[in-house]
Amino acid sequence: MTSLPSCSRTILSLFHNLSINSRKFDQIFFKKNLIGKHFLCTVSEGTIIFDRETKRIQRNRAAQLDDYDVCQYVKDEIAYRVADKVFDLTKFNDICIDIGCGSGHIATNLIKENVGVIIQCDMSAGLIRRSRGAADPEVPVLSVIADESMAPFREKSADLVVSSLSAHWINDLEKWFSRCLSILRPDCPLIGAMLANETLYELRIALQLAEMERLGGIGLHISPFVRADDVGSLMSQAGFGMITLDTDELTVGYPNIFALLYDLQGMGESNALRNRSAHVRKDILIAADTIYRSMFSRDDAPCPATFQIVSFIGWRPGPLMPKPAKRGSQKASFKDISKFVEGKVSFPEDHNPKIGKE
């Protein structure tokens, strides 16, 4: 058997029960017979919300699309923002673990000055294949095909854990955050982003109204997303310190509801609720498209779709963990901010700040 590269020998100690491809060391597969049943499911039967197997199939199908890259604009943008926060870190990260890597959206933006080795984890073999070559050629990348909700890495094995637009499909977020905390070494951060509860509210309303009108009831077509203010509570319960959260909204314009649904499939973000409705009738989709336009249409977008993003940073407590400044230690006051602004901003007399705002 060919000898392992030095970086691979170092990384192997991080994993539980791995089978290594001796010809190519950029992929690592779990031996199914070595993983206990309790390790394959993150929550009890009664609390499963999402069908993880369905989500894996959806991602694999998306990875096979010829125009896959065209549909990744939201994931690429958010991954760039996550990576940008990595650039703000003052420390070098020897081992970076990307949980729910997709096709390498975050790895594309990381460089050798930030990280030593990137370990990618995703349950979709198709997306793992697409992630090859995404990172800086000077940064070694290893890929693990496994359910990212398990976060199957040894305790205190990583200097940095990142995750972008994957965690919102995990059934037990509190347990997942706890696993991420255990993976991190002391004084090391988790940086990530996930979709929040206001995501696709326009589509949800349009489908509900269309079904109420024609069926007298509504089906489950849009997955529920976590509330942005609950993420901090979950991270705190898991044991993270110095938690930072921020929310943002991306609005993407589509010509019609069918273009939106197609791109959601291309992103691998179709509905994966365990008790989801089997299908949507064509007449309901046509009616929903009309309702969507009548309620939410804008001049620049017949069918605008909102993606609400909650970004989070949490640190595993340690002696060197960043700490907030002491109260009263500031050297400037908000009332003096005008002194630091060059020049004055003048507005016309008829200026109305409400015009043009949504």
Give the DSSP letter of residue 115. E
Decide which of 3.30.70.20, 1.10.540.10, 3.30.830.10, 3.40.50.150 is the CATH code for 6-199+224-251+308-340.
Answer: 3.40.50.150
Task: Label residue 49 by pLDDT band (50, 70, 90).
Answer: confident
User: Mean per-residue pLDDT for 192-206?
Assistant: 95
Contact status, residue 17 vs residue 30, Cβ threshold 8 Å: yes
Residues 211-222: tens digit of each pLDDT: 988 887 777 788
One-letter amino acid for residue 73 of the chain: Y
Q: How much is the pLDDT for 339?
A: 66
Which residues make Cβ contacts (< 8 Å) with residue 85, sequence separation at least 6?
191, 311, 313
**Buried b / exposed e along 271-305 (16+ C-beta atoms within 10 A):** bbbeebeeebeeebbebbbebbeeebeeeeebbbb
Q: How much is the pLDDT for 253?
A: 95
Whole-number pLDDT of residue 152: 86
Task: Determine which helix (DSSP H) or strand (DSSP E) holds 97, and give its type and residue range.
Answer: strand 93-99
pLDDT at 1 over 50: no
Does 338 have pLDDT greater than 50? yes
User: pLDDT band at residue 327, thresholds of 50, 70 and 90?
Assistant: confident
User: What per-residue confidence (pLDDT) applies to 342?
Assistant: 60
The pTM of this model reads 0.79
User: What integer best gives the mean pLDDT of the chain?
Assistant: 83
Note the pLDDT of residue 9.
Answer: 44
Name the residue with higher pLDDT: 141 or 48.
Answer: 141
* pLDDT given at position 18: 37
Distance separating alpha carbons of residues 151 and 134, to the nearest angstrom: 22
Torsion of CA 267, 273, 278, 282, to 10 degrees: -50
Q: How far apart are CA 101 and CA 106, in angstroms?
A: 7
Query: Which of 301, 272, 282 is CA-nearest to residue 214?
Result: 282
Res 293 pLDDT > 90: yes
Q: Which range has the worst mean pLDDT, 58-62, 125-129, 266-270, 280-284?
A: 280-284
Question: 2 pLDDT exceeds 80?
Answer: no
**Predicted confidence (pLDDT) at residue 345 exceeds the cutoff of 70:** no
Closest CA to 276 of 51, 42, 46, 45: 51
Greatest mean pLDDT range, 78-92, 133-147, 270-284: 78-92
Q: What are 301's two structure tokens?
A: 């977008």
**Mind listing the pLDDT tens digit for each residue in 84-129?**
999 999 999 999 999 999 999 999 999 999 999 999 999 999 999 9
Domain ranges of the chain: 6-199+224-251+308-340
Q: What's the confidence (pLDDT) of residue 14?
A: 52
pLDDT of residue 64: 95
Tell me how crowded residue 17 is: count the other CB atoms within 10 A of its CB.
13
* pLDDT tens digits along 7-48: 444 444 554 433 333 233 344 443 333 333 333 333 444 478
Query: Distance of CA 219 to CAs 43, 227, 279, Å?
Result: 24, 21, 9
Residue 266 confidence (pLDDT) above 50: yes
